[in-house]
Amino acid sequence: MESILSIEFTAYVALAVLLYAIRQAANIPNRYIPLAAVILGVAFSAFESHAFSFDVLVTGLKYALYGIGSVAAIKYAIEKAGGDK
């Protein structure tokens, strides 16, 4: 249970929610969502560790990939629920 509530889980859930909100509010094309995710993920990782290194970059990319996957899952679930009606 502790690993579920860890900072990594919170970070990628927050990133996923932020990316979904940006996608809906700004109506930017889907091809720019991964770029925004990488920038936000690396920025959050650098903010979290108060430094920048290769490990911080990899952690930021991990956050970005998790965030993109979560946004895709949310989008698919909403489309699937709307298509059944």
Task: Dump pLDDT digits (tens) for 42-66.
Answer: 998 899 889 999 999 998 898 888 8
Torsion of CA 22, 42, 45, 53, to 10 degrees: -170
In a domain, 1, yes or no: no
Residue 4 φ/ψ, nearest 5 degrees: -70, -35
Its pTM stands at 0.74
- Retrieve residue 47's tokens: 């903010």
In a domain, 79, yes or no: yes
Q: 47 is in which domain, residue-wise?
A: 7-83
Please tell me the total count of domains within the chain: 1
Region 30-47 average pLDDT: 89
Q: Is the pLDDT of residue 1 over 80?
A: no
Question: What local confidence, expressed as pLDDT, does residue 68 receive?
Answer: 86
- When mean pLDDT is compared over 4-18, 42-56, 71-85, the highest value belongs to 42-56
Region 14-33 average pLDDT: 83
* Token pair 């932020």: residue: 18
